[in-house]
Amino acid sequence: MRAIIVDDEQNIRKVLNVLLKEDGLEVYEASSVINANSLIKENYFDIAIIDLRLSDGSGIEILKTIKEQNPETVVLIITAFASTETAIAAMKLGAYDYVTKPFNLDEIRIVIKNIKEKIILQKKVKELQQYADEYQDIIGKSEAIKKVFTMIDKIAPFDTNVLITGESGTGKELVAKAIHNRSIRADKPFVAINCASLPAELLESELFGYTKGAFTGAYASKRGLIDEANGGTLFLDEIGEMPLSLQAKLLRFLEEKKIRPIGSSNEIEIDVRIIVATNKALNELLEKSEFREDLYYRLSTFEIRLPSLRERREDIPLLIDHFVKLFSKKFQKDIRRIEPAFVDYIMHQELKGNVRELKNIIEREVILSEDGYLKCTSCPTFESLESGVRSPELDSDKGINLNEYLTRIEMELLNKALQKANGVKTKAAELLGLTFREFRYRLSKYNRQ
């Protein structure tokens, strides 16, 4: 990574130069607006640290030049004045953050570390954009999700039925759409229905359609979803919830490729690909005779198992960034920075609702953010820590992994202290009754610096 320091005080440039080189950055220096603009026009910089008041002008001019030349450059503003109005104006123009002189070295180290993390994440997200485009917004680069991409690529071109399994919120419908979009049916309809969302009689009429007068309330004929999907793909979510009586009719359709709307004596030939999904273990339903064995084998020609978010935690920062951008645009919020403690908090949660739960968390946090800074202020776990550490539920049969539980609590308290101390470790250590060395040691256990 490459950085530029713009300050007319030589000592400040020297200190910042040392700090940046400690982090492995290639560093350039400029003492004026003219010199800085010249370097910026000739070079790409990942990071720019700019003093607001220079001998020949304002750092705002340099900020504008940077954002015109390289919008992705992360800019940190330095100001020696009590008033921060100009610094805030700079942030509105695209600066990442500002610090005031004289600055604390620990503070500036944390800010630089955060900036590096942001840049690395930006680059990863950019690399992943091709995956998002090709795989229907399925975000991830872990080995677990790459296996799913591989299966999509192998299965999509062949006109065969697919069973997608996985916990709730793992993105089963997204995978179904990705298969459809990469198949020969891509220009035909993709029709989805959740089998758990309707009672049996309504589900049947929705799938197969009905004629006028077929039953009370049938004031007009209605095409079924199977017919609407003709030529394309029909996605049946939560297939395990489909009643046995309707399973028999679905099996007949799969065998004959024909449907008969309720109340009609005529059959309609249908050409459709079937993709189904479930968060239930169908083999257990088979044992209980709650799912037809013959239908199961018809539907599960190929099976794709989606990993839970707990199995691909390395994708969480990428998903957070994706959803922050999504909801920032939706709610017209200018979220410029994500607190590392917030990411750590999410990384250590169970997230039993998987990607859907994570999406809901980010939506809430973006709405609540008032300063362009995503923090842990409304995280339920942190709120409960205010009145003491939570007591875990102890199951007499299963017990609890005490080391894992204590590790999670320790991480939450460390992050909470850093948040309250605005990233200053000495103050955070005091809040927890630790020496600075003890605090640093505990952070290092979790690969935090």
Strand partners, 49: 5, 76
What's the confidence (pLDDT) of residue 386?
A: 40
Residue where one domain finishes, among candidates 258, 284, 306: 306
Whether 61 is covered by a domain: the verdict is: yes
Euclidean distance between CA atoms 80 and 53, whole angstroms: 8
pLDDT of 385 > 90? The answer is no
> Please, what is the end-to-end C-alpha distance for the chain in angstroms?
19
- Tell me, what's the pLDDT at 381? 43
pLDDT at 384 over 50: no
- The pLDDT of residue 387 is 39
Do 162 and 83 share a structural domain?
Answer: no
State how far Cα 171 lies from the chain centre.
12
20, 115: one domain? yes
DSSP E strand boundaries for 186-315: 190-194, 209-210, 222-223, 233-237, 258-259, 268-269, 273-278, 302-305
Q: Say if 137 falls within a structural domain.
A: no
**Could you tell me which residue, 382 or 435, shows the higher pLDDT?**
435
Residue 226: the pLDDT is 95
**In this predicted structure, what is the pLDDT of residue 260?**
92
pLDDT for position 398? 60
Backbone angles phi, psi at 138, to 5 degrees: -85, 110
- Residue bearing the bigger pLDDT, 130 or 278: 278
Residue 129 forms part of a structural domain: no
Specify the pLDDT at position 158: 92
Reference 112, options 31, 3, 13; nearest CA is 3
Cis peptide before 380 (omega within 30 of 0): no
Task: To the nearest 10°, report the CA torsion of 64, 65, 66, 71.
Answer: 70
Residue 58: CATH number of its domain: 3.40.50.2300
Domain match, 286 and 323 both: no
Please tell me the distance from the alpha carbon of residue 110 to that of residue 424, in angstroms, as a whole number. 8
* Mean pLDDT score, 327-356: 84
Q: Which of 22, 43, 24, 23 is nearest to 6 (CA)?
A: 43
Say if residues 189 and 225 touch (Cβ distance below 8 Å): no
Q: What is the DSSP letter of 307?
A: P
The residues facing 258 across adjacent strands are: 269
pLDDT higher at 293 or 89: 293
Rg of the chain, C-alpha, whole Å: 28
Q: How confident is the model at residue 425 (pLDDT cuts 50, 70, 90)?
A: confident
Q: How many C-beta atoms surround the C-beta of residue 79 within 10 A?
A: 20
The token pair at 276 is 């189904």
Task: Say whether 162 sits in a helix, a strand or coil.
Answer: strand
Instruction: Please tell me the pTM assigned to this model.
Output: 0.62
Q: In this predicted structure, which of 62-66, 134-138, 214-218, 359-363 has the lowest mean pLDDT?
A: 134-138
Distance between CA atoms of residues 400 and 416, nearest Å: 24
Percent of the chain, pLDDT > 90?
37
Query: Is 67 domain-assigned?
Result: yes
Distances (CA, A) of 407 to 53, 216, 348, 414: 46, 60, 9, 11
Range of the domain at 363: 310-445
Q: pLDDT grade, residue 391 (50/70/90)?
A: low
CA distances (Å), 208 to each of 102, 131, 159, 204, in order? 73, 36, 22, 6
Tokens of 372: 């362009």
Query: Does residue 89 sit in the same domain as residue 186?
Result: no
Compute the distance between CA of residue 447 and CA of residue 449 in angstroms, rounded to an integer: 7
What CATH number should be reported for the domain holding residue 293? 3.40.50.300
Q: With contact defined as beta carbons under 8 Å apart, do 385 and 413 qualify?
A: yes
Length of the chain: 449
pLDDT range class, residue 166, cuts 50, 70, 90: very high
In a domain, 205, yes or no: yes
Lowest-pLDDT choice from 116-130, 238-252, 303-317: 116-130
Residue 130 lies in a domain: no
317 and 284 both lie in a single domain: no
Same domain, 158 and 52: no
Cβ atoms of 234 and 274 within 8 Å: the answer is: yes
pLDDT value of residue 394? 56
Element (H, E) at 48: strand 47-51
DSSP 209: E
The four Cα atoms 135, 340, 402, 434 give a dihedral, to 10 degrees, of 170
Q: Is 356 exposed, middle or buried (0-12, 13-18, 19+ CB in 10 A)?
A: middle
Burial environment of residue 269 by CB neighbours within 10 A (0 to 12, 13 to 18, 19 or more): exposed
Residues 201 and 231 in one domain: yes
Distance CA 110, CA 99 (A): 11
Identify the helix (H) or strand (E) that includes residue 5: strand 2-6
The number of domains in the chain is 3
- Above 90 in pLDDT, residue 344? no
In angstroms, what CA-CA distances link 325 with 123, 139, 333, 341, 426?
15, 13, 9, 19, 33
Identify the pLDDT of residue 392. 57
pLDDT score at 115 = 83
What angle, 0 to 180 degrees and rounded to 10, lies between the N-to-C axes of helices 316-330 and 340-347? 120
Residue 337 forms part of a structural domain: yes
User: Mean pLDDT over all residues of the chain?
Assistant: 84
pLDDT tens profile 67-83: 888 888 888 888 776 45
pLDDT of residue 389: 46
Which two structure tokens, joined as six digits, stand for 41? 């026009």
Q: Is the pLDDT score of 128 beyond 60?
A: no
Instruction: Provide the angle, in degrees to the nearest 10, between the axes of the packed helices 59-69 and 85-92.
Output: 10
- Please write the tens of the pLDDT for every residue from 185-223: 999 999 999 999 888 888 999 999 999 988 888 889 999
Same domain, 153 and 279: yes
- Low-confidence winner among 202-216, 232-246, 392-406 (lowest mean pLDDT): 392-406
Residues 18 and 116 in one domain: yes
Other CB atoms within a 10 A radius of the CB of residue 256 amount to 12
Domain C-terminal end among 124, 156, 182:
124
Same domain, 150 and 94: no
pLDDT at 379 over 70: no
Please tell me whether residues 211 and 229 are part of one structural domain. yes
Q: Which residues pair with 276 in a beta bridge?
A: 163, 236
DSSP string, 247-260: HHHHHHHHHH-EE-
Does position 52 have pLDDT exceeding 80, yes or no? yes
User: Do 174 and 277 belong to one domain?
Assistant: yes
Asked if residues 185 and 167 have their Cβ atoms less than 8 Å apart, the reply is no
Q: Which of 255, 284, 306 is the last residue of a domain?
A: 306
- Return the minimum-mean-pLDDT range out of 284-288, 302-306, 343-347: 343-347
